[in-house]
Chains A and B, each alone.
Chain A
């Protein structure tokens, strides 16, 4: 079973703002989860730009069979924890698919999108990874399913949903920070002979 545990970390001007998108390998108490996220961020963030994208976290992440695979986009780290049944390059590609999917679903994703809409990020992730196993790697398929679910949600809200949406649009107008785009184009990870997983 691939033990997939993607998480984000971003260094926000005033403090480290670490949000786990998903950390559910085993029933672990929240404290241990937080410790794992913190230490993972610590490990990942001190690494240079031009080193490999794999990290062996040892006991922290449950032994030598597991490793951390991460990608760094602007202020965000996407870290997956996987066991030896997953291909390293495959997971790197999965992260890329994830980020591109986020970009499509949020229409030019920025860091704040992910911070304010953790639930949506989760729903997107749930279409890609299920119970720690890779479910779907085709971005178009994922986006189709997400769109269909959003449509369903809208139709359920119906008339009653309109005022709520209006209010939340107003609330979102005075966001204190200016959204920054994650530039997903500027990564230079060589994935040899592996055309994108589509």
Chain B
């Protein structure tokens, strides 16, 4: 056997391994592709062999090839084979390959579910670790659903290595399976206080990721994070928490209000002026964040930011640009854009130049051109931008030109003159049409000149420019616009000429069209060709009419009548569905499947009677029909979207008053519109300054008149820079035509939300208590129909409500006695209690501690096995002050036993109590934890203890005491650990377990309920269940295995236990007997 293995491995060592492959590829630089295809053939042969080592080696090589860009998805099944190898060495190779090439579309991924589950529960922590790492890369919604519960169990694994991975992967699980968030969240929260820093950091990481997307759900965690922030020494955790606070601050303004101003200055001073490029970058980044909430504090650093535009580092330049976007105001827009234009000229490399261009447009057009005071200036800027060569953003400029020309009515004349100029100089712009995106602007220019042709100074010249042969070299869609708009232009020229009575020239222009249009008819672009030939025919027809001296202009112009109004992009979406209209309802009766098969086709037409027998065909008389028709007409008349069949008065002619309802405010032009030649936008800056200055003076004059007596104080001339934004009136009193919205549109702010946002599903309220139905799907074993998931919260709630009552009663009696002794006349308030030690049953490892079995009214509490230390338990106690007095100086002391000792601070004696680290105002509760060390866990323990405290009220303060008992049951040392049947069987076979059994009679509850009780109270998990027989498993904190076989008879239950510690087992069984006898 061994010999065979050695022989096999000797054969194998001459196989090509990963290093050989890499070396081979490096040695075959000339014919790499050929060499790799050879290697892939070899790999395919290796994959066919049965030896798993050979397969793993092959998969390892494939992983490398994948990184070089070769598709290896064909080997997905082999990868799964290697993943399921028993040796960690191979398993790791398999999971690495899977994480590199599996994704949601990989169909074999569903085959991995059971393999992954097996690996997750492997006794070898590295098997589990490698499975978690792999899963984090390719988790699908199905995998997430099926494995969520297993992963959640791992969050409480004994090894921190597994815990941290399990915690981190939960985020991926939440993303794919949002339903798991609420059930898993309590435990995730618990992990924020995990003793291992790695686990803690993972939990912070996950919660920060969640909170970043939906901060409002995590506001309640703010105090906890604040505590972590002050206590944590891990920088990673700190950074994450600060980022989290960044997300929370907008929701809770008090959190950071005061810090803003000094912080900004700090950033300014330290970061941007710093010579270190990294810090400079981060400073700018921070500024852009502050800008969103506190624009004023950033605006003062404008010059500094403009300086950054000159930085040699592109990253910094881009950051600075981004900042400028948020810094503009009416006052400084022109100045900033001017600086940017200078940079555009200087910029090398198209990427940065394109970035500048988009930024200029973004800056100017933001919030509906809010900051533009002079649109002529803006058009000039756009025209100047067309001189950029090689930009990809011609369409952006074009879109802006169109938008401004359509929406700012006052600017149309100016825009048209500029566009005409562009068309005239088209040869400059379109010099290199193939690579040059700038020719897109001609699209806009042609459209604007055509649509608003009435504003053209020299329409003939423009028309000729549009008909130049050079135009045919433009891209098809631009030519199409040319063709369409030259007709508009032609129509308006025709009208002018006809009105002026110039028949000759109107015929000339028709002839020109007929001469030049054929060049478009020959176009290879279908759109151009179709439009051109159509229009050519039309014009030929016009020519005929002109020859007969029929006036045609009116009719031609009617072709293009009507104004185009901007409509809001989401107009249709915002119209509510009218009441009573069900869009999903059938308009006609849905064809029923059964009938259509049976029915013969002819019956549909002939069998009248059958028709009548159908219930959904109500008979209608003439009256009813008429009534309905009338109602429908009425409805249509009120419906703005119903296109009426009669010609609408709005659509007929341009000069009809149909467009009046568009809210265009008449303008008062104070700037001369005629600007000869190519405008330099700079002149507007000057003009604008003068204009503002004038305005200011006028305003001042008015003020002076009003306050004549204060005249003397107005010596100081207000400089432009102190002027506030509101003072600047736009040059053209331009109101932008707002986008039209249907009358009954609903304002909604949901526009911005992307329905495909994967994080939206995680917007879940986490403070709501868990409902019964909310639990993670648990992998069920055969025959365990509806066994309750161990992590139900219901019993917890029950117990909480029951237990304190007992305690309260006792306590009240004590209170009364005390009061009597003191001979005070004060009436005892029934409700008044000083402090109640309420036990909090903290959920841990799927079940909670059972403290209800003892007959004595001992104070209950929660004992948690310490996962890191096999001889420690943590007792959590919640102190609640139900009195009306202030409770302070609480001290908890326990009489140690030989076995169980409370851990006290160093140097204190065993008789000293441990101070509780807080005070309790009335009505407040708080939790404190105490750690105990144990030597042996095989026996249950009871410890007596005292809580001393000072009660302070108006009458002074008294010192009081409260006695209690702590009961450490054996079950509290158990940790629910999942176990699979094969591992369980091996454990039983091993033979080093001791056996014991109990039998309890008179059990009436169902077996299923019974199992749930054992799971819940004694921290067991069901391994397998067959009929009325089940095997269960648990582990103690010191690593004892406990196996149970539970059998249910008619009225009795027998429990056979096996454990490697006989005393522990018998004690556990005794406890169990008590639980069961209470059933």
CB-CB nearest 5 A-B residue pairs = A131-B136, A27-B103, A52-B277, A34-B69, A51-B313
Q: Which chain A residue shows the least CB distance to B289?
A: A84
B132 nearest in chain A by CB position: A130
Of the listed stretches B1-9, B338-346, B790-798, B926-934, chain A binds: B1-9
State whether the Cβ of A167 lies closer than 8 Å to any Cβ in chain B: yes
Chain B neighbourhood of A192, CB < 8 A = 279
Is there contact, CB below 8 Å, between B169 and A130?
Answer: yes
Q: Are B209 and A130 in contact (CB under 8 A)?
A: no
Residues of B within 8 A of A178 (CB): none
Chain A residues within 8 Å of B133, by CB: 126, 130-131
Q: Which residues of A contact B136 (CB under 8 A)?
A: 130-133
Residues of A with C-beta under 8 A to B315:
51-52, 54-56
Measured between beta carbons, the chain A residues less than 8 angstroms from B27 are 176
User: Do the beta carbons of B209 and A122 come within 8 Å of each other?
Assistant: no
A-B contact pairs, 29 of them (CB 8 A): A1-B172, A19-B68, A22-B100, A31-B69, A34-B68, A51-B312, A51-B316, A52-B315, A54-B278, A56-B315, A116-B19, A118-B18, A118-B63, A118-B64, A119-B93, A131-B136, A131-B168, A137-B234, A138-B197, A149-B126, A152-B126, A153-B92, A160-B8, A160-B9, A161-B9, A176-B26, A190-B279, A195-B235, A197-B236
Q: Is B296 an interface residue (CB 8 A)?
A: no
A50 / chain B contacts, CB cutoff of 8 Å: 277
Q: State the Cβ distance, A1 to closest chain B Cβ, in Å.
A: 6
Query: Taking the nearest CB of chain A, how far is it from the CB of B51, in angstroms?
Result: 11
State whether the Cβ of B282 lies closer than 8 Å to any Cβ in chain A. yes
* A137 to B315 Cα, complex, angstroms: 27
The answer to the question of B276 belonging to the interface, with a C-beta cut-off of 8 Å to chain A, is yes
A1 x B313 contact (CB < 8 A): no
Is A111 an interface residue, CB under 8 A from the partner? no
- Using known A-B contacts A88-B278, A88-B282, A135-B164, determine if residue A19 contacts B60 with beta carbons closer than 8 Å: no
Fill in one digit per residue for A158-198: 1 if any B CB lies within 8 Å of its CB, else 0. 01110110011001100110000000000001101011010
Residue from A52, A119, A160 in contact with B281 in the complex, judged by beta carbons closer than 8 Å: A52
Q: A33-B69, A141-B198 are in contact. Are A90 and B168 (CB under 8 A)?
A: no
Give complex CA distance A133, B27 in Å.
37
User: How many residues belonging to B are interface residues under a CB distance threshold of 8 Å?
Assistant: 85
What is the CB-to-nearest-CB distance from B206 to chain A, in angstroms, rounded to a whole number?
8
A197 to B2, CA, bound (A): 48
Interface size on A, residues (CB 8 A): 73
Task: Tell whether, in the assembled complex, residue A52 and residue B209 are in contact, meaning their CB atoms are under 8 Å apart.
Answer: no
B832 in the interface, Cβ–Cβ < 8 Å? no
Kindly provide the distance from the CB of A182 to the nearest chain B CB, expressed in whole angstroms.
18
Within 8 A of A (CB), among B282-320: 282, 285, 312-316, 318-319
Contact A1 B278 (CB under 8 A): no
Task: Check B560 for interface membership: any CB of A closer than 8 A.
Answer: no
Q: A134-B205, A156-B88, A163-B9 are in contact. Are A119 and B63 (CB under 8 A)?
A: yes
A102–B93 Cα distance when bound, in Å, is 19
Chain A residues numbered 102-118 whose CB sits less than 8 Å from any CB in chain B: 115-118
Q: In this assembly, does B243 line the interface, its C-beta being within 8 Å of a C-beta of chain A?
A: yes
Instruction: Give complex CA distance A164, B6 in Å.
Output: 10
Considering the chains assembled together, what is the distance between the CA atoms of A79 and B282 in angstroms?
18
Q: What is the bound-complex CA distance between A2 and B962, given in angstroms?
A: 52
Sample of 8 further A-B pairs with CB below 8 A, known A53-B278, A148-B126: A54-B315, A88-B282, A118-B18, A119-B64, A126-B130, A130-B136, A131-B137, A138-B198
Contact call A1/B209, Cβ cutoff below 8 A: yes
Q: Is A21 an interface position by the 8 A CB rule?
A: yes
Bound together, the chains give a CA A164 to CA B20 distance in angstroms of: 13
From A14, A22, A24, A51, B277 is in contact (CB under 8 Å) with A51
Residue numbers in A under 8 Å from B63 (CB-CB): 118-119
With A27-B103, A30-B66, A141-B198 in contact, do A131 and B209 touch (Cβ < 8 Å)? no
- Cβ of B67 within 8 Å of any chain A Cβ, yes or no, is yes
The chain A residue sitting closest to B65, CB to CB, is A30
For window 141-176 of B, CB contacts with A under 8 Å fall at 161, 164-165, 168-169, 171-172, 175
